[in-house]
Amino acid sequence: MLLEGKVAIISGIGPGLGQELAYVFAREGADVVLAARTESKLQEVADTIAERWPERRTLVCPTDIGDADQTQHLVDATIAEFGRVDCLVNSAYIPPPFTMFDKADFAQWRKAFDVTVFGTLQLTQQVAEKMAEAGRGSIVFINSMIQKKPLPTQSGYASSKGALTAAARMLAKELGASGIRVNTASMGWMWGPPVESYVEYAVSTGQSREAVMAEITKDIPLGIIPDDADCANAVAFLASDMASVITGVDLNVNGGEMMM
pTM of the entire predicted model: 0.93
Q: Which amino acids are annotated catalytic?
A: 157
Q: Are residues 132 and 236 in the same domain?
A: yes
Q: Are 91 and 143 in contact (CB under 8 A)?
A: no
Measured from the Cβ of residue 242, the count of other Cβ atoms closer than 10 Å reads 12
Q: Domain span at residue 82?
A: 7-190+226-253
- Which CATH number belongs to the domain containing residue 90 in this structure? 3.40.50.720
Of 125, 246, 241, residue with least CA distance to 181: 246
Residue pLDDT, tens place only, 130-157: 999 999 999 999 999 888 888 788 888 9
Alpha helices in 53-154 (DSSP H): 68-82, 106-113, 120-134
Number of folded domains that form the chain? 2
Q: Are residues 240 and 219 in the same domain?
A: no
Q: Are residues 207 and 137 in the same domain?
A: no
Q: Are 158 and 146 in contact (CB under 8 A)?
A: yes
DSSP-derived letter for residue 224 is S
> Would you say residue 16 has pLDDT above 90?
no
Looking at the chain, the whole-number percentage of residues with pLDDT higher than 90 is 73
pLDDT, residue 216, reads 87
Looking at the chain, the whole-number percentage of residues with pLDDT higher than 70 is 100
Q: Are residues 162 and 243 in the same domain?
A: yes
What confidence category does residue 24 fall into, taking pLDDT thresholds of 50, 70 and 90?
Answer: very high
Write the CB contacts of 151 (distance below 8 Å, at least 6 apart in sequence). 158
In this structure, which amino acid lies at residue 146? I
Q: Are residues 68 and 115 in the same domain?
A: yes
Residue pLDDT, tens place only, 200-238: 888 888 988 888 888 889 889 999 889 999 999 999 999
Q: Are residues 168 and 214 in the same domain?
A: no
